[in-house]
A and B are shown apart, each in its own frame.
Chain A
Amino acid sequence: SAVISQKPSRDICQRGTSLTIQCQVDSQVTMMFWYRQQPGQSLTLIATANQGSEATYESGFVIDKFPISRPNLTFSTLTVSNMSPEDSSIYLCSVDSRADGYTFGSGTRLTVV
C-alpha cells in the first residue's frame, strides 16, 4: 500500500496565524483527501484534492479558510488560515490505494492558543 509522509507532526500556533501541512506520497495517486479529527468525534472530510483542478470542499468547509494545493500526483498541502482555538484538532491526509483501501498519514496535531 502507499506510504504517506505528513508534516509537521504537531504544532502550537498563535490565533490569527496560518499553518501549512504537507503530505507526500511514495506513489502517484489521482485523489488525495484531507480530514479533520476532533476529540471524541468522527473523522470529517474537509476536501478532496485532484491534481490540476480546484479542490472539492465538503459542506461547512471553505477555500478561504482551508486552501489546498495539489501541484503534482504525489504531493498536497492544506493550509489552516486565520486560526482560532476551535481549529485545534488533528489533521490527516489520505489516499485511495484502490486494492489496499484507504491509507492515512500519521496526522498533524494542531493546538491554537
Chain B
Amino acid sequence: QKEVEQDPGPLSVPEGAIVSLNCTYSNSAFQYFMWYRQYSRKGPELLMYTYSSGNKEDGRFTAQVDKSSKYISLFIRDSQPSDSATYLCAMKGAGGGNKLTFGTGTQLKVEL
C-alpha cells in the first residue's frame, strides 16, 4: 500500500463547478500538507501549504486537513478552464529531514 493515495482521474467538470480533490495517507507522522498544481511540461507550483488539521482558504481555493481520518482535500470554487492541470498532494513529517511524499496526482479538466 502506498503511503499517499490519490485518484488519478481524469476528472472533467463544467466551468463554474466546485471541484473536490482528495488524498488519503497512512503515515500518522505527517504534519505538513501541500497541494501543487502542475501544468503540462511545467514544474509543480505550490498552491496551498497547511500545518496539522483544519481549513485554509486562499481566493477560490480551500484546503482541508482531517488528521483523525488521514484525509486531505482541496476545493476549487468557480472553476475556470485555466484550472485545467494535474493537482498533486504532498506531505511530510515534523521530524528531521525535509522529504516530501507525493500522491500520483489528479488530472483535472474544466470544460467551457
- Could you tell me which A residues sit within 8 Å of B by CB distance? 1, 4, 6, 31, 33, 40-45, 48, 58, 92, 96, 100-107, 109
Contact = CB atoms under 8 A, between A and B. Distances in A.
Given A43-B88, A105-B43, A48 B99 contact: yes
Given A104-B44, A109-B41, 14 more contacts: A33-B98, A33-B100, A42-B88, A42-B102, A43-B44, A43-B88, A43-B90, A43-B102, A48-B97, A48-B99, A92-B44, A104-B45, A106-B42, A106-B43
A54 B49 CA distance: 29
Contacts of A33: 98, 100
Contacts of A44: 102
A31 B46 contact: no
A33 B43 CA distance: 13
B88 A102 contact: no
B104 interface: yes
The 3 A-B residue pairs with the shortest CB-CB distance, nearest first, are A104-B43, A101-B49, A42-B102
Interface in B89-109: 90, 97-105
B57 to A, nearest CB: 16
B74 interface: no
Contacts of B76: none
